């Protein structure tokens, strides 16, 4: 176990009693004062089985990825914030809920343009809840080298209505569930529906390095790492509006 720890690995135990090794991501010191736009997406599909605005069309998604590449933007993960000097125009793409179209529609586009993204997966959803990815799809996205799988809570219940014990369970169980699937310990939590309370903020640091809000606009690295702002990209966000969200990147 000492050897595993030296390699940044740790042992975990699955519900069936089996043990597994997982990689713990270390996040270095983040330089202050950098603007890093964080974009919030959900589904990527023209099959509008839910709320229309949450479904960015694959054609618009491709247009946006191409814009990033053609205009010199660097799509990074949250762990990359520790070495922002390596990126001229850093931006973070995030996708909430772990919809199966993220695997079917989004992943091939990320591979085509070699763009990195973060997908927030609900801990109890893979292979159980309709329209969500299977554990195998989550693992394949994680192994692609382009997708960081992070936590969206265990049940997706609103955290602003939870007591201390329930909050701790949501934070810890979602981390364990996703670690078992990917072999990597999540270090970012996206608050379900953007909701949190004092218990959330007092406990999140026991498990995660970042807490992500739904909206709020531009994120600056001097902001509280547990209150990270995002821009919302919907089905109806045109390319000019999309571009306007990015202009401050790296300044």
Residue 4 binned pLDDT confidence (cut-offs 50, 70, 90): low
- Interatomic CA distance for residues 248 and 102, integer angstroms: 27
The whole-number pLDDT of residue 3 equals 52
Report CA 241 to chain centroid distance, whole Å. 22
The pLDDT assigned to 13 comes to 65
- Residue 180 has what pLDDT? 96
Per-residue pLDDT at 22: 75
What burial class does residue 51 get, using C-beta atoms within 10 Å of its C-beta: 0-12 exposed, 13-18 middle, 19+ buried? Answer: exposed
pLDDT per position as a tens digit, 118-141: 999 999 999 999 999 999 999 999
Specify the range with the lowest mean pLDDT, choosing from 6-10, 185-189, 209-213: 6-10
pLDDT digits (tens, 9 = 90+) for 177-194: 999 999 999 999 999 999
CB-CB neighbours of 244 under 10 Å? 13
pLDDT of residue 10 exceeding 90: no
């Amino acid at each position: 176990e000492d050897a595993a720890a030296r390699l940044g690995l740790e042992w975990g135990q699955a519900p069936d009693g089996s043990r597994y090794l997982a990689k713990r991501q270390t996040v270095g010191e983040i330089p202050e004062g950098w603007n890093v736009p964080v974009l919030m997406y959900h589904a990527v599909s023209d099959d509008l089985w839910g709320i229309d605005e949450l479904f960015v069309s694959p054609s618009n998604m491709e247009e946006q990825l191409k814009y990033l590449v053609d205009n010199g933007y660097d799509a990074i993960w949250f762990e990359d914030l520790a070495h922002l000097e390596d990126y001229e125009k850093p931006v973070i793409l995030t996708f909430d809920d772990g919809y199966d179209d993220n695997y079917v529609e989004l992943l091939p586009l990320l591979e085509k343009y070699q763009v990195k993204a973060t997908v927030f997966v609900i801990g109890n959803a893979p292979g159980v809840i309709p329209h969500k990815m299977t554990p195998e799809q989550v693992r394949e996205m994680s192994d692609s080298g382009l997708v960081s799988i992070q936590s969206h809570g265990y049940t997706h219940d609103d955290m602003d209505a939870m007591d201390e014990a329930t909050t701790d369970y949501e934070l810890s169980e979602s981390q364990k569930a996703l670690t078992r699937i990917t072999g990597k310990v999540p270090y970012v939590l996206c608050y379900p529906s953007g909701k949190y309370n004092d218990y959330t903020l007092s406990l999140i640091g026991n498990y995660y390095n970042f807490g992500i809000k739904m909206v709020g606009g531009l994120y600056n690295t001097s902001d509280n790492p547990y209150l990270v702002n995002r821009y919302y990209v919907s089905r109806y966000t045109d390319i000019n509006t999309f571009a306007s969200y990015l202009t401050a990147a790296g300044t």
